[in-house]
């Protein structure tokens, strides 16, 4: 899990602009091989509540990651 404020506050975001915000993922050794979802969520800075998408969910799946046996 990687959870922190964005490098550029959302109040400064501009439409159609790409912002890179790197996160490092570390996978504990006890996680079994399989396919996992990589999800993101955005929080309201004032309330700490997770924002909802139009479909009512509070996260967006951005990728599926396959872990193989070492």
Q: Which domain holds residue 55?
A: 34-67
Number of structural domains found in the chain? 1
Q: Is residue 6 part of a domain?
A: no
Instruction: Share the mean pLDDT of the chain.
Output: 88
Mean pLDDT, to the nearest integer, of 10-25?
86
The pLDDT tens digits for 21-35 are 888 888 888 889 999
**pTM: predicted TM-score of the whole model, two decimal places:** 0.66
Q: Would you place residue 62 in the very low, low, confident or very high pLDDT band (cuts 50, 70, 90)? A: very high
Q: Is residue 48 part of a domain?
A: yes
Grouping H, G, I as helix, E, B as strand and the rest as coil, residue 11 is helix
Q: Would you place residue 15 in the very low, low, confident or very high pLDDT band (cuts 50, 70, 90)? A: very high
Angle at 48 between CA 43 and CA 49, to 5 degrees: 65
């Amino acid at each position: 899990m990687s959870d922190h404020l964005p490098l550029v506050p959302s109040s400064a975001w501009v439409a159609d602009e790409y912002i890179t915000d790197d996160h490092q993922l570390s996978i504990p050794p006890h996680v079994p091989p399989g396919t996992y979802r990589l999800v993101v969520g955005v929080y309201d800075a004032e309330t700490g509540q997770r924002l909802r998408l139009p479909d009512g969910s509070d996260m967006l799946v951005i990728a599926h990651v396959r872990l193989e046996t070492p």
